[in-house]
Amino acid sequence: MPYVNIKITREGATKAQKAQLISGVTELLQKTLNKNPATTVVVIDEVDTDNWGIGGEVVTELRKR
């Protein structure tokens, strides 16, 4: 029944990589807390680098350095 939200910058994650994140985190919750995988929900948000900031700076600018 856990709900997991993974936010990453939109920088080309493939379908296969996203599938790995989903299966990996579902498995981790089963292994660690015995959570039922059947009702574990994972949502991945890919966020434009213009909309993500760290250290007070926009990631789009950080990527140019």
CA angle 25, 26, 29 (to 5 degrees): 85
CB 9 within 8 A of CB 53: no
Using rule CB under 8 A, residue 10 touches a second copy: no
Q: Of the residues 2, 6, 49, 60, which is catalytic?
A: 2
Catalytic site includes residue 37 = no
Around 19, how many Cα atoms within 13 Å sit in the side-chain half-sphere? 3
Binders of a second copy among residues 17 to 36 (CB under 8 A) are 17-29, 32-33, 35
> Given the rule CB under 8 A, which residues bind a second copy?
1-9, 13, 15, 17-29, 32-33, 35, 37-47, 50-61
